[in-house]
Amino acid sequence: MKNVAVVGSQWGDEGKGKIVDWLSSEADVVVRFQGGHNAGHTLVIDGETYKLRLLPSGIVRKNKISIIGNGVVVDPWALIEEIEEIKKKGVEINEENLFLSESATLILPIHSELDALREDSAKNSKIGTTRRGIGPAYEDKVGRRSIRVIDLLSEQNLDSKLETILHHHNSLRRGMGVKEYSRQKLKEELVKIAPKILKFSKPIWKKIEELKKLNKKILFEGAQGILLDVDHGTYPFVTSSNTVASSAATGSGCGINTINYILGITKAYTTRVGEGPFPTELKNDIGEKLGSRGKEFGTVTSRKRRCGWFDGVLVRQTIKTSGITGIALTKLDVLDEFDEIKICVAYELNGKKIDHLPTSTEHQFKVKPIYKSFKGWKSSTCGIKEFSSLPKPAQEYIKFIEEFVETKVSTISTSPERKDTILIEDPFDT
């Protein structure tokens, strides 16, 4: 029996929702370990669509434990709103199937306001944030001034914490010409929401250890993608947390040896939301066709995604930095109608051929993709459940990806429906 971590191998939006849902039907426990309510997962189960932002994907299934780990930044109002939304769809959520780390950092109204103020004043250097306060909340966490779930237990303690955090934020607000935030107002808002949040609060590291001893199958669910990792992504056009698989251990309080298999969700082409370098981006009819066929709009923000050909160089690089064991190739059916399909196999930078994405932001914007072309299969792959049933050109495309990125393709998704999956290797049983 193995515990599995699922991460996105590109810039997010790889179709993790479907794969995680498929895996969560087999898992006993599903853990979110980083990010916040800026990244969404869309699940389609028996014709019902669930759009999750903070809640782990296991929450929509009976007899599963869902955990929000310490590595997640939690907007308490957004969490309660999401819980109520999902409850309306007939899903039971209570203190027995949802646990929230007592050491998780809270996202406060001052964080989302600061996020928006910075983005609006950035002019030509926008990062493309979702304006939900994720970055500022992580900044306060690292700056040792954040308010955590456990701080809601005591009003006296909360007073002290609010004084510290507002001293910092009101200094920033004065500097930006914005009215200071009222400590009393923020305290009242937190005291009101506290009972709704605290009932889910637990020492998660201890709970995971108990579940391990019971031989429960644990699925660690990542948000976003490795190319948005604050250390290993296209900095500064990244998120504010580590999205690589090793952060599953840090963000939940378990040892790294708890994770036995790392599944990298990988789209059969490439997309990106927001600003930043994108070597294979197609600002033409092909890019528009990929976006249209793939319904490339964000789950949380509805922002249109930028589209391009599959970048093998980047996926090979993220596989190395995250220790990915196998990849789940998604949205293969989006490529069904193309006469020619391309894969980026190298870059050209200042007249020289290179085999990786350079660290310099300036160079990342300058690199030009070098492509290998493949004949399109021009037939439907939608709903196919056996690799041998795929058109021969599609098989060749997948085999080349597997060889180039030096990692096994363990799963292939051929439609948004969970049942339309080609399983080559089960991560839990391998």
Active site residues: 13, 41
Residue 257 tokens read as 């040896």
**From CA 322, how far away is CA 262, in angstroms rounded?**
8
Q: Which residues pair with 72 in a beta bridge?
A: 35
Phi, psi of 385 (to 5 degrees): -120, 0
Phi-psi label, residue 133: left if phi above 0, alpha if psi -120 to 50, beta otherwise: left
Phi, psi of 254 (to 5 degrees): -115, 160
Using the 8-state DSSP alphabet, how is residue 335 labeled? G
**From CA 205, how far away is CA 196, in angstroms rounded?**
22
Residue 268's nearest CA partner among 15, 7, 4 is 15
Residue 62 tokens read as 């009976």
Using the 8-state DSSP alphabet, how is residue 333 labeled? G
* 66, 94 contact by CB (below 8 A): no
* 57, 82 contact by CB (below 8 A): no
Distance set, CA 197 to CA 148, 236, 339, 377 (Å): 11, 33, 53, 51
Integer-rounded Cα Rg, in Å, for the chain is 22
First and final CA of the chain: distance in angstroms?
8
DSSP 3-state of 65: strand
**Nearest-10 Cα torsion for 56, 62, 63, 64:** -10
Instruction: Compute the residue count for the chain.
Output: 430
